Amino acid sequence: MPPKPPNVIAIYPGSFDPITNGHLDLVQRGARMFDTLVVSILRNDSKLPLFSVEERVDMLREVVHPYSNVEVDSFDGLLVDHAAARSATVLLRGIRAISDYEYELQMALMNRRLRPEIETVFMMANEAYSFISSRLVKEVFGLGGNISGLVPPSVESRMHDRMPTIKQREDR
């Protein structure tokens, strides 16, 4: 195993469609643990996203602006290859509930098999946000529910702009 690098770079991967306050909490805490934290958006996602990758990059850049050691990137293909290309040695993931654990464990073990030198680090979601997911935020918003406090204000305003698309999808 290679020794600890002088600068630990961690990748926080995900779809972030859109970023929620739960994600942002992990970014804040991750920024205090690692020298550099790269929030990386998966490009080739099979799910039909509400926001394009470019829109998500913009939204993420807006909200991570206060953290000087946090960057935003996107990737195609294997996460561990992206991590290696960015010289990252850590993958950061959040766990909200026990239901997240099985999927996360599977991914962490597969990623370890692919590149054992890259370690997955799990952080427990802040209990205040442990019920929030991007999927539920979109569903509640589309049905007219209040999402303030669940996503950053700039994201909420972009969701309002996207309301016609959200409504169209519901009508299908």
Cis preceding-peptide flag for 13 (omega within 30 of 0) = no
Hey, which residues between 30 and 89 contact ligand PNS (CB under 6 A)?
42, 78-79
Copy the structure tokens of residue 9.
Answer: 């770079």
Q: How far is the CB of 98 from ligand PNS (least distance, A)?
A: 16
CA angle, 32 then 37 then 38, to 5°? 160
Please indicate whether residue 154 is annotated as part of the active site: no
Q: Is there a catalytic annotation at residue 23?
A: yes
> Is residue 94 a contact point for ligand PNS (CB under 6 A)?
no
Cβ pair 31, 2 in contact under 8 A? no
Window 114 to 143, contacts with ligand PNS (CB under 6 A) = none
Query: Which of 111, 138, 150, 152 lies at the binding interface for ligand PNS (CB under 6 A)?
Result: 111
Applying CB under 6 A, among 9, 10, 12, 13 the residue interacting with ligand PNS is: 13
Q: In what order do the strands lie in the sheet with 119-124?
A: 70-75, 36-42, 9-14, 90-95, 119-124
Note whether 9 binds ligand PNS by CB under 6 A: no
CA distance 77 to 55: 20
Active-site positions read: 23, 47, 96, 134
Summarize as ranges the residues that interact with ligand PNS (CB under 6 A): 13-15, 42, 78-79, 107, 110-111
